[in-house]
Amino acid sequence: MNASSSVRVLCFGVALGALCSPGVSQLEYGGSPCPEDLLGAVEAPSLQFAALNVEQLLAEDDARPKGSYRFGVIRSTDLGLRNGGVWQTLPNGDRLWRLRVASEGAFSLGPEFAEFELPPGALLFVYNDAREIVRGAYTAANNKPNGQFAIQPTAGDAITLEYLEPAAVAGRGRLQLSGVVHDYRDFVGHGVGLGHGPDGGSCNVDVNCAAGNPWRNQIDSVIGVTQGGWICTASLINNTANDGRQLVMSANHCGSYTNAVFLFNYQRSGCRSGPSPRNESVQGSTLLATGRTGDYRLVELQEQIPASYSPYYNGWNRGSAVPADTFCVHHPSGCPKKISFDNDPPARSGQYWRVRDWDVGTTEGGSSGSPLMDPNGRFIGQLCCGLAACGNNFSDDYGALNTYWSNVSRFLDPLGTGATAIDGFDPDPLCTATVQAAAIARNGSGINPAVFSQANPALIGRAWASSVDLSGFPGSHTFLMLASGADPGTPVGGPFVGELLCRSPVVASPLGVGQHSVLVPADCSLAGASFCAQALILVGRTRTFTNALDVTVGTF
């Protein structure tokens, strides 16, 4: 399926260093793919999958106990830059690669990558045949430590992957498609294509109904999680440092979440009315703790949550006292966010809190992993299992936080306070003044050969991540990040003396990029502060300095 040709016009994407727009999804970085009339007569080769036996899949779903909700199945493949698609060489030496993937009868397709590592300047777009929906650009900023990536479903039964690789980094990109999720339930359209809608069971209550008004923060904490054609529910959870560490609690049975897409604010704009967009998400997580007993999974998100998503980190209560009543926020059957209430105390059943019968609303498949809250709006457990549904009085079980506390305490109580309960954390009011974060590179090439750049803006109370290009320095290294109060704009032709921010051993990834982070203190007086950062790479006795970055600390 390999081919090579040239086109006469240069395709333009997005400026390096562009920040993501609040309105786009999954930390996309803007730009647009090449116009069709500029591609000449070269068509993208098409990988075609046959239709699925949907009736059999739906029968399997009906027979499955309540848990994760399946909306799609993986159509497996192993095609990428080196063994599929078509390459075109542009006049300036840049190269363009395209591959079309079609699966008959799909309502939407979601690509998943076993290898995803984009070099600086490379751009990836995904679009449907009509180009009415374009996702991207995805850039080196979307690279993950595990080298994997997934893109949320795009409506239609065919998509095209388009990858632009600058001549300066020719051959350094890694992009290998492991499969696409074939959506057979019309997840993107909320089942409208199958005659359903966005509400699930008739007793479900939208979070924007009046019943949700007292719990706006807790509603903001709840997120949907999709991976491999399945959806569950999860929630952000606070820790005693109140530092906005991006901790997420869900259920063990929902899967690994290592290559998952996390959906924020997936809810209807009104009470049983209005749209419910899924254009706010981040991708990828790192496992911190998990267990079958208690059915819990604690992960940390790898991409920075944009402030525009209005995230909230739930407080928690690990005590054993039985609360007077409880409520839950969740995504039943993959639907927009709902809220349910039990006006009675829960029972205890071994490692679990048991809600005997919901008084308002219910739960369904896809609600798994959702948080059970006490009357103070604090997390006490996550949904494991149960038979509750609209029209019955069956129970639901939630893994109780106090039964697996010893396995998560170092993350939820990093200060070792011994607290049995804490309040939630809302990052928004951390600082009243709004300051835009910025970073300007100086001497990025020539004098200092190792390129140093920021992976996300430096924000008060958040981890500031940076990356350094180690492609010219094979083997193991020691990385030192230095900072100084040098005036922004001061030329840096070599090393400068500064405060050591962090030191760590690092082995370059296959692409030759090392990533590091340092926590910016939760101190509002730092808003607008500027400093100069530079990295020093040690390989044995050899020292190599990077370019410098003029960094301005922002708020969110």
* 185: three-class secondary structure by DSSP: coil
Specify the pairing of strand 4-6 against strand 86-89: parallel
Non-local (6+) Cβ contacts of 143 within 8 A are: 116, 117, 118, 149, 509, 511, 513
Report how far Cα 527 is from the mean position of its chain's Cα atoms.
26
Q: Print the SS3 string covering 317-348.
A: ECCCCCCCCEEEEECHHHCCCEEEEECCCCEE
Task: Round to whole Å and give the CA distance between 96 and 175.
Answer: 13
Among 253, 325, 409, 517, the active-site one is: 253
Q: Do 316 and 379 meet the contact criterion of CB atoms below 8 Å apart?
A: yes
Task: Round to whole Å and give the CA distance between 260 and 370.
Answer: 16
DSSP bridge pairs for 373: 327, 379
Among 235, 250, 281, 368, the active-site one is: 368
Q: Do 115 and 83 meet the contact criterion of CB atoms below 8 Å apart?
A: no
**Helices H, strands E: what count in the chain?**
3, 37
Q: CA nearest 52: which of 103, 93, 4, 3?
A: 103
* 144: three-class secondary structure by DSSP: coil
Non-local (6+) Cβ contacts of 409 within 8 A are: none
483-507: b or e for each residue (b if 16 or more CB lie within 10 Å)? bbebeeeeebeeeeebeebeeeebe
- Token reading at 187: 């997840």
- Token reading at 77: 């493949």
Read off the amino acid at residue 514.
G
Q: CA nearest 230: which of 295, 289, 182, 158?
A: 182
Task: Round to whole Å and give the CA distance between 376 and 371.
Answer: 13
Task: Round to whole Å and give the CA distance between 232 and 371.
Answer: 12
Residue 89's alpha-carbon distances to 44, 98, 101, 236, 334, in angstroms, are: 14, 12, 22, 45, 43
Task: Round to whole Å and give the CA distance between 194 and 154.
Answer: 17
Task: Round to whole Å and give the CA distance between 5 and 42.
Answer: 8
Task: Round to whole Å and give the CA distance between 261 and 284.
Answer: 6
Among 94, 186, 220, 295, the active-site one is: 295
Q: Is 182 a catalytic residue?
A: no
Q: What is the largest CA-CA distance in the chain?
A: 73
Q: Is 453 a catalytic residue?
A: no
Q: Is 103 a catalytic residue?
A: no
**Residues noted as catalytic:** 253, 295, 368
